[in-house]
Structure 1
Amino acid sequence: MATQGTDTPTEITVPEHGVAELLRRATQRHGDRVALDFLGRSTTYAELAEQVRRAAGLLAAAGVGPGDRVALVLPNCPQHVVAFYAVLRLGAVVAEHNPLAPAAELREQLEGHGARVVIAWEKVVGNVVGGGRAVFAVDLTAALPLRSRLLLRLPVAAARAQRETMRGPVPAGVRSWDRDLRGATPLAANHPAPGAADLAVLLHTGGTTGTPKAVALTHRNVLANAEQGRAWVAGLREGEETIYGVLPYFHAFGLTLCLTFAVDMGATQVVLPRFDVDMVLSAMRRHPATFFPGVPPMFDRLATAARERGTDMSSVRYSISGAMALDGDVARRWEEVTGGLIIEGYGMTECSPVILGNPFNETRRPGALGVPFPSTEVRLVDPEEPTRDVPDGEVGELIVRGPQVFAGYYGKPDETAEVMLEGGWLRTGDLVRRDPDGFYVLADRRKELIITGGFNVYPSQVEDAVRSMPGVIDVAVVGLPDSSRGESVVAALVLEPGASVDLEAVRHWTRERLSAYAMPRSIAVLEELPRSQLGKVLRRSVRDRLLEVGVHVREMGEHVREGHLADHLPGPLRGRDTGAEPGEKPGEKPGERPGGDPAAD
């Protein structure tokens, strides 16, 4: 079987403490080291730990205790890191949410886990008020360097426009997180800490069945995957690395690689509120990255820009790609630009998230899922009879067992039972084969999930949104191959006689009903949809038909590239981050922001 190398253990020792202990230990060892860099403003580990103590005291005073859910509806920012560790220090549970999710989706999720407190970005705070919850509003500008904050106060159009992308109106009764934090009493050092088996995080996903639910991860789950990652990348040096936090923290990949793994390594984390090529390359001059976790579109665009501009990326020694298949050409160009290694991994939210990874050596195989992480067992079974293993060389459903496997779907024991087998084995729903060299390769998806730019899109949810549109009789949603996103969401429509529906109309209709990445990027009009004898629409037949006729997946330009996980982040603070007005680039007219704001698209 392929292995990571002689320095990589096959087993790890899983920490038996809470996640917040990572920060305490990092502070003890590297207190003067920069923990966070946010667009030029630095926070040391000692300063971060003090902010976390104050935040924990603030939340405790607001009535938050062990087991209580606290919802974070935030982009990547220092306040997000502080709130995350403060909640966990109290033994409460972090419920992560996409800040750009539709209001109805956010409210449904909040009701589902019953959060006592919500900490939300000012731009979206209006979407989460109500329900008897205490709400704190976060001002992103409060985390900027002083020079940037002063520039935003200038009475000029560009400053006003930029302020509007970063700040929003705060409803009455909503407290200011940043102001209250400054006056908060720090949590007592002897305050009881949670145990490894306690619930730590809720991450929202459709899971393996497509029904929206909250994945419950314990402190042990989260710490195990961070420790597995640390063992996997054996060449990293504690207290010396610089990791870029461009993956969304509300996504399992970003949470583990940036919120926990980086702190576990005592690394400096360059925190970016969204992925932006100019922003990344600007930050590289201030804090050159040594470790870069991302998704293929990020590596593709950064490699191209670095080569065109002659930017030195040679500091990047290790990169991990996830969420979608890594094209071999993209991997080759990234390694040519950086001189480092890039590998891809495979996982799912229910596994905190990583299960398999390619080795960080010459045996890596772009396009393959990889080999099992330390302390991770995998099997291939008959999807119709999951207690039976399939013979070597045949395709089977991948099942997994390990310390990173989740505690279940929050409040949904029946759904949990559907995916958990006897002995602690989790069904992934993915059909996989194991090659003779030990690498696992994805063969197909058992469910008709669409993965676009790293995000899961469930066809039934998109269909429900489109079907309600005037002029539409029926709809089937499928994913078609897309070189930049992995798959593109395509809606096949059956229209009423005489009706005319175009792509722009479909996207306008669904923008309040779907997350931006889930909105169709192309449509096709059919006379009828293929159905089974029972009347069920055959999505696979629809997909095959569209591929046969060569449906054109329309590329709509940079201003709506929200299908990428890399891009599906709040739009403020684009461009330079070294003192100019955040988001303003040389040659722009005041108020112009090339590329647009996904929050507004």
Structure 2
Amino acid sequence: MHEHAERPWSVHYGPGVPTQIDIPDEPVTAGLARAAERWPDRIATDFLGATATYAQTEQAVRRAMVVLDDLGVRLGDAVALVLPNCPSHLVAYHAALRLGAVVVDLNPTYTEAELAHLLADSGAKVALVFHRAVAAVVAAKPSTELRAVVSVDVSRDLPASAQLLLKLPVKAAREKRAALLGTVPDGVRDWHTLIKRARGEVPAAPVGADDLALLQYTGGTTGTPKAAMLSHRNLVANVVHGQAWASFREGEETVYGVLPFFHAFGMTFCLNLAGHIGATLVMFPNFEPETVLKAFGRRPATFMAGVAPMFDRIAAAAEASSRPPTEGLRQARLGFAGAMPIPPSVVERWERLTGGLLIEGYGMTECAPIALGNPCAPTRRPGTLGVPFPNTDMRVVDIDDHTREVEPNEDGVRRGELLVRGPQVFAGYRNRPEETAHQLLEGGWLRTGDVVEVDPTGWVTLVDRVKEMIIVGGFKVYPSTVEEHLRSMTGIADVAVVGVRAPGGDDHVLAAFVLEDGAQAPTVDEVRAHGEQRLARYALPRRIEFVAELPRSQIGKVMRRQVQEMFTRDE
């Protein structure tokens, strides 16, 4: 797997998937504009039943360009989108990028302090903000470069019937209004009003493929948010890779937008992919299994990207339903899961329900975000990362010395830190040259920070995060390996394994358990006895804790760093 070697893993590619693809020399917005010309009457977006064609969406983007231009957005300015999934999000995203602005997509549920830090760090000049988050952004404005804050009332993107129901004096309507609406300070302009009043047109800026498109924040394992600089080429490359990998049918697919658009995974495989292939994008403002299941009865997905718990909860909702949309579910040809391993039980459950495939991929924000994936074929292997995408190379290096490639063991397997390189890999972190130099090596190689095993054919299996590895008596303990075995204990719903500092500088293994309802808590001795069946003694937990739930990211990934802090902050 040297720099100029052939790609042996291509033997695992699905039918017709090339190892090398010519990446179009165009901005990421070009796909939506093309789709509006090719399929003007095709439904582009469906937001809980409110639909817009590609022609209507194109006109909305053009009006939004006028609004942003009037707000003073110019070439190279950063525009913050602090929004849930909704048509206004898509329209603003494309409008800003066509003007040559740089989009900063932020989680609308962040606290005032978090928003203040990220808005200041990004240098955002204009912010389009979810109604409920407006007050927090306005309060943060003095510490930022913001010139304008605009309120976006997501309820105005809903179908007319739903807007009327929101006004009813009943509990359900009050609860829904509270979830969508907040208090907007005086003087803050309204997005939909500005769009309605927009007149004329402004030309698109001369945006090149290598121009900066996004500042996508990632905390990694350190918890310190960093703005990954992603170019239009990075984004287009990953969409083109995904299209070839899954053999998407242009002008025919229906993509479910259950992942948040402000996350790199949702941004690529919902927000960007749908327009590029002329798909209908069915958007959900937040993830509710019953709402997604209902949508399968109305406008079924042919493709859905998500995380393992999403697929599992939708399947559970279908199994619990007295009238599940069986025919709609059988339209789901492909599910693509990332961010965490997929348990084989979830794969089996989803594929039994839909008749389609559920495959696993791997990536990180710094590669826009996908670098590896399981083939879209029965040869996929649940619980593994798969093989590099087209145009993508990999190396496996020593964990303690990234300049040294590891040698295979007697079985031909290499174990070490994964490095990847390809057109989707980012340009670095904004204003963080030292961290960029640490992450992005000479020759364009990206350090992933993940320990993997690669078999002789190039198939990759995740072992663990380098920074989450626990050192016990000089031995390396991989939390994922310990967690996998401990989950098989009776009465255990979930577990997170972390290292906690012990006197003398060594680490102890701590396991934080979530118990199943009514289950009896095991003792440390019982946990260690179970662990000894498959784990080395130094990997056995010395301490156990019990929690009602594990802290998770917005897309459901367990945050081990927060688990560690829960039990060490007072020590």
TM-score range, shorter chain: 0.7 to 0.9
Contact kept in structure 2, 1:276 and 1:567, CA below 8 Å = no
Structure 1, residues 193-219: CA drift from partner, whole Å, max 9, x if none? 311011001111124654321111000
Structure 1, unaligned runs of 5 or more: 451-477, 493-528, 569-601
Shift of 1:144: 0.7
CA–CA distance in structure 1, aligned partners of residues 463 and 371 of structure 2: 17
Where does residue 409 of structure 1 map in the other structure? 429
CA–CA distance in structure 1, aligned partners of residues 454 and 497 of structure 2: 29
Judging changes above 3 Å, is the alpha-carbon distance between structure 1 residues 431 and 157 closer, same or farther for their aligned structure 2 residues? closer
Where does residue 446 of structure 2 map in the other structure? 426
Shift of 1:280: 0.5
Where does residue 398 of structure 2 map in the other structure? 382
CA–CA distance in structure 2, aligned partners of residues 99 and 244 of structure 1: 20
> RMSD in angstroms over aligned alpha carbons?
2.5
Among 529, 533, 547, the alignment partner of 1:554 is 547
CA–CA distance in structure 1, aligned partners of residues 207 and 503 of structure 2: 52
CA–CA distance in structure 2, aligned partners of residues 157 and 65 of structure 1: 45
CA–CA distance in structure 2, aligned partners of residues 168 and 12 of structure 1: 47
Where does residue 267 of structure 1 map in the other structure? 279
Query: What secondary structure, in the 3-state scheme, does the structure 1 residue paired with 2:90 have?
Result: helix
TM-score (norm 2): 0.82
Where does residue 197 of structure 1 map in the other structure? 210
Spell out the pairing of 1:126-525 with structure 2 (5 A cutoff): 126-129=135-138, 130-131=141-142, 133=146, 134-188=148-202, 190-207=203-220, 210-234=223-247, 236-309=248-321, 310-312=324-326, 313-392=329-408, 393-448=413-468, 481=483, 488=496
Structure 1, residues 239-269: CA drift from partner, whole Å, max 9, x if none? 1111100001111000000010111110001
Judging changes above 3 Å, is the alpha-carbon distance between structure 1 residues 414 and 314 closer, same or farther for their aligned structure 2 residues? same
Shift of 1:305: 2.0
Contact kept in structure 2, 1:10 and 1:374, CA below 8 Å = yes
Contact kept in structure 2, 1:208 and 1:428, CA below 8 Å = no
Contact kept in structure 1, 2:75 and 2:205, CA below 8 Å = no
Task: Tell me which amino acid in the other structure corresponds to 1:230.
Answer: Q
Residues paired across the two proteins, number: 496
Contact kept in structure 2, 1:398 and 1:429, CA below 8 Å = yes
Contact kept in structure 1, 2:251 and 2:279, CA below 8 Å = yes
Contact kept in structure 2, 1:58 and 1:186, CA below 8 Å = no
Contact kept in structure 1, 2:511 and 2:543, CA below 8 Å = no
Report 1 or 2 for greater relative contact order, CA contacts < 8 Å, sequence distance ≥ 6: 1
Among 469, 488, 502, the alignment partner of 1:530 is 502
Query: What secondary structure, in the 3-state scheme, does the structure 2 residue paired with 1:82 have?
Result: helix
Judging changes above 3 Å, is the alpha-carbon distance between structure 1 residues 135 and 314 closer, same or farther for their aligned structure 2 residues? same
Task: Tell me which amino acid in the other structure corresponds to 1:141.
Answer: S
Judging changes above 3 Å, is the alpha-carbon distance between structure 1 residues 186 and 562 closer, same or farther for their aligned structure 2 residues? farther
Task: Tell me which amino acid in the other structure corresponds to 1:5.
Answer: G
Judging changes above 3 Å, is the alpha-carbon distance between structure 1 residues 381 and 142 closer, same or farther for their aligned structure 2 residues? same
Judging changes above 3 Å, is the alpha-carbon distance between structure 1 residues 539 and 110 closer, same or farther for their aligned structure 2 residues? farther
Task: Tell me which amino acid in the other structure corresponds to 1:82.
Answer: V
Task: Tell me which amino acid in the other structure corresponds to 1:231.
Answer: A
Is 1:58–2:67 an aligned residue pair? Answer: yes
Shift of 1:383: 2.5
Judging changes above 3 Å, is the alpha-carbon distance between structure 1 residues 304 and 161 closer, same or farther for their aligned structure 2 residues? closer
Q: Percent of counterpart pairs with the same letter? A: 48
CA–CA distance in structure 2, aligned partners of residues 278 and 561 of structure 1: 23
Contact kept in structure 1, 2:496 and 2:511, CA below 8 Å = no
Task: Tell me which amino acid in the other structure corresponds to 2:286.
Answer: R
Contact kept in structure 2, 1:352 and 1:404, CA below 8 Å = yes
Contact kept in structure 1, 2:414 and 2:455, CA below 8 Å = no
Task: Tell me which amino acid in the other structure corresponds to 1:551.
Answer: I
Bigger drift between 353-362 and 385-394 goes to: 385-394
Where does residue 19 of structure 1 map in the other structure? 28
Structure 2, unaligned runs of 5 or more: 1-8, 471-478, 513-523, 528-539, 559-571
Where does residue 83 of structure 2 map in the other structure? 74
Where does residue 5 of structure 2 map in the other structure? none
